[in-house]
């Protein structure tokens, strides 16, 4: 088989979603050619990066073919035929959905998640399922049953987690965009570590039907891309009320592309003093402040604010998320699907060994923490208390948004860290999400844009808005990307 890697196709692999739509419309190349090029590149580079767990080559070509035919007939949807990847947390009918776990290594989902169905209806071409921290529990993509993912910027470093596979794939041009999920920072932090634009919308904006649950009241789907414009395109496809998800919100989806260019004169940007304090790498801070001055140039006003209960967010999260997870993961018992231990002698043996062998250490750790926090005698002191703290954290944001329109700061205290450097003490890993976690607790939308390089490694600027202000966040990110070029920096691979 001949290589697809002509100079033209090499160029095509650099294009984002918006550009690809134009190229395909112009018939610069076909969707099949494009898909083949991506598959070839994945074949070449995935063994090192381990970004993809499952590559759906045959299916992708069938989808690409269908898109080409539709395009020829003039009936193609605007983004039909553009390849992308799904985080392996979304159920894809007929395709293995493993969620980074041995427990689901043999699980072929019998149905499509709503997100998956929407992408399919848009005609997008699924290249495969990306690697992730097991059951979305992690901040470095090191807990996956399928092995760690490497950061394309430097293979000795982590890409971030839990959506590390999606981030690495997009950063290494193994797909132009990838779906992802964020419970405590799992889209934004990898975006920061890999130089990508990643958005986690308001809780309830995107349907959770078919999205394997970690922490029900915190999980939210989103996307990792190389530009705000691309993020807007995918957000448009993915968002919307879904009656199958009782926590999905019936709020109309605006046209995210229509407002991308809006000027931001007079915008009031809040800078939480807690996010610019001890723990933030000084080099990162410098880049962030430089990025913020870009907004000032465009007419925004910076204002220091205080999120008083910031320091409690990680603790509250690490009571609530494991508590919900401990119940969400009870269904993995070897009875109806998934991993089952070999030759169980009785019910208890089956439960114990299936779950003992099927789950990795971090998952087991969190199940135990969650079970403990919910148990008799501890429920009030831990679970109830954490819920109260959550309310305080939400109130902090509500109060802040009376004075400012958006909140900005560093996504992560530092650049990507070395593989294996934080796996000894779980708490050091938990502190990775120190700036991102509160956003999930408050259910607010948050986005990370590439805002600089520190020692050659990307760092991200986090932008947080009020409920359902995704259009505004994308607009700010887009305006920033029109004035800067951090988002165009990609690693060599």
- Do residues 122 and 159 lie in contact, with contact meaning Cβ atoms separated by under 8 Å? no
246 in contact with other proteins (CB under 8 A): yes
281 in contact with other proteins (CB under 8 A): no
> If we measure between CA atoms, which residue out of 441, 458, 422 comes closest to residue 198?
458
Q: Compare residues 99 and 171 and give the one whose CB is closer to other proteins.
A: 99
Name which position in 107, 295, 317, 318 contacts other proteins (CB under 8 A).
107
Name which position in 211, 235, 407, 441 contacts other proteins (CB under 8 A).
211
371 in contact with other proteins (CB under 8 A): yes
Name which position in 99, 196, 224, 267 contacts other proteins (CB under 8 A).
99
- Do residues 23 and 83 lie in contact, with contact meaning Cβ atoms separated by under 8 Å? no
Given the DSSP bridges, would you call strands 268-272 and 301-305 parallel, antiparallel or unpaired? parallel
- Residue 303: what are its φ and ψ, rounded to 5°? -145, 130
Strand partners for 54: 129
375 in contact with other proteins (CB under 8 A): yes
- Do residues 382 and 319 lie in contact, with contact meaning Cβ atoms separated by under 8 Å? yes
Q: How many C-beta atoms surround the C-beta of residue 492 within 10 A? A: 6
Sign of CA dihedral 99, 100, 102, 105: positive
420 in contact with other proteins (CB under 8 A): no
Q: Minimum distance from CB of 477 to other proteins (Å)?
A: 29
Respond yes or no: is residue 186 known to be catalytic.
Answer: yes
Distance CA 451, CA 458 (A): 7
Q: How many C-beta atoms surround the C-beta of residue 58 within 10 A? A: 9
> If we measure between CA atoms, which residue out of 24, 30, 65, 21 comes closest to residue 6?
30
Respond yes or no: is residue 246 known to be catalytic.
Answer: no
| Catalytic residue chosen out of the listed positions 101, 163, 186, 248 | 186
Sign of CA dihedral 166, 170, 226, 281: positive
Q: Minimum distance from CB of 144 to other proteins (Å)?
A: 16
Which range, of 24-32, 167-175, 211-219, 254-262, touches other proteins by CB under 8 A? 211-219
| Catalytic residue chosen out of the listed positions 162, 227, 239, 326 | 162
Q: Minimum distance from CB of 86 to other proteins (Å)?
A: 12
323 in contact with other proteins (CB under 8 A): yes
Q: How many C-beta atoms surround the C-beta of residue 26 within 10 A? A: 8
376 in contact with other proteins (CB under 8 A): yes
93 in contact with other proteins (CB under 8 A): no
Location of structure tokens 């958006």:
406
Q: Compare residues 271 and 373 and give the one whose CB is closer to other proteins.
A: 373
> If we measure between CA atoms, which residue out of 196, 151, 115 comes closest to residue 477?
196
Q: Minimum distance from CB of 325 to other proteins (Å)?
A: 11
244 in contact with other proteins (CB under 8 A): yes
Name which position in 76, 178, 206, 212 contacts other proteins (CB under 8 A).
212
Q: Quick one: CA torsion of 46, 49, 53, 57, rounded to 10 degrees?
A: -20
Q: Minimum distance from CB of 13 to other proteins (Å)?
A: 31
Binding mask 331-360 for other proteins (x = CB under 8 A): x-x-xxx---------x---x---------
Q: Minimum distance from CB of 468 to other proteins (Å)?
A: 17
Q: Minimum distance from CB of 83 to other proteins (Å)?
A: 23
Task: Copy the structure tokens of residue 291.
Answer: 């990025």
Which range, of 18-26, 126-134, 245-253, 398-406, touches other proteins by CB under 8 A? 245-253
Q: Is 246 helix (H, G, I), strand (E, B) or coil?
A: coil
330 in contact with other proteins (CB under 8 A): yes
Cβ burial 211-242 (10 Å sphere, 16+ → b, else e): bbbbbebbbbbbbbbbbbbbbbbbbbbbbbeb
- Residue 35: what are its φ and ψ, rounded to 5°? -65, -45
Q: Compare residues 116 and 461 and give the one whose CB is closer to other proteins.
A: 116
Name which position in 12, 55, 64, 109 contacts other proteins (CB under 8 A).
109
Q: Minimum distance from CB of 56 to other proteins (Å)?
A: 18
Respond yes or no: is residue 3 known to be catalytic.
Answer: no
Residues with active-site annotation: 87, 162, 186
Chain residues binding other proteins by CB under 8 A are 90-91, 97, 99, 104, 107, 109-111, 113, 208-213, 215-217, 243-247, 323-324, 326-327, 330-331, 333, 335-337, 347, 351, 371, 374-376, 379, 383
């Amino acid at each position: 088989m001949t290589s697809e890697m002509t100079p033209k196709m090499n160029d095509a692999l650099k294009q984002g979603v918006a550009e690809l739509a134009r190229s395909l419309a112009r018939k610069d190349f076909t969707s099949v050619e494009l898909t083949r090029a991506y598959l070839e590149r994945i074949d070449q580079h995935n063994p090192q990066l381990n970004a993809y767990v499952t590559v759906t080559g045959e299916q992708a070509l069938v989808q690409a073919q269908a898109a080409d035919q539709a395009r020829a007939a003039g009936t193609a949807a605007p983004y039909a035929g553009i390849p992308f990847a799904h985080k392996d947390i979304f159920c894809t009918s007929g395709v293995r959905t493993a969620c980074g776990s041995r427990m689901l290594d043999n699980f072929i989902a019998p149905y499509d998640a709503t997100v998956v169905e929407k992408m399919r209806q848009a005609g997008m071409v699924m290249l495969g399922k990306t690697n992730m921290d097991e059951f979305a529990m992690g901040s470095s993509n090191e807990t996956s049953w399928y092995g760690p993912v490497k950061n394309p910027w430097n293979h000795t470093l982590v890409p971030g987690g839990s959506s590390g596979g999606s981030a690495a794939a997009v950063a290494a041009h193994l797909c132009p965009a990838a779906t992802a999920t964020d419970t405590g920072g799992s889209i934004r932090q990898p975006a920061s570590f890999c130089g990508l634009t990643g958005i986690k919308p308001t809780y309830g904006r995107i349907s959770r039907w078919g999205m394997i649950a970690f922490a029900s009241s915190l999980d939210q789907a989103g996307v990792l891309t190389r530009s705000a414009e691309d993020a807007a395109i995918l957000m448009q496809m993915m968002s919307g009320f879904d009656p199958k998800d009782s926590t999905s919100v019936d709020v109309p989806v605006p046209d995210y592309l229509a407002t991308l260019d809006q000027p931001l004169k007079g915008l009031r940007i809040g800078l939480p003093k807690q996010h610019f304090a001890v723990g933030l790498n000084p080099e990162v801070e410098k880049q962030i402040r430089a990025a913020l001055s870009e907004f000032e140039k465009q007419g925004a006003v910076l204002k220091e604010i205080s999120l008083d209960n910031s320091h409690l967010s990680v603790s509250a999260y690490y009571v609530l998320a494991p508590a919900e997870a401990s119940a969400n993961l009870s269904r993995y018992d070897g009875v109806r699907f998934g991993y089952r231990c070999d030759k169980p002698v009785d019910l208890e043996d089956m439960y114990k060994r299936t779950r003992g062998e099927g789950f990795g250490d971090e998952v087991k750790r969190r199940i135990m923490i969650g079970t403990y926090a919910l148990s008799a005698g501890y429920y009030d002191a831990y679970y109830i208390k954490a819920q109260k703290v959550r309310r305080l954290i939400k109130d902090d944001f509500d109060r802040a948004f009376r004075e400012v329109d958006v909140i900005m700061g560093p996504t992560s205290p530092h650049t990507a860290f070395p593989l294996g450097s934080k796996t000894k003490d779980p708490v050091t890993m938990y502190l990775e999400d120190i700036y991102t976690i509160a956003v999930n607790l408050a259910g607010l939308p948050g986005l990370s844009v590439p805002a600089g390089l520190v020692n050659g490694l990307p760092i991200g600027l986090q932008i947080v808005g009020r409920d359902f202000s995704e259009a505004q966040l994308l607009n700010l990110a887009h305006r920033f990307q029109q004035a800067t070029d951090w988002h165009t920096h990609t690693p060599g691979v």
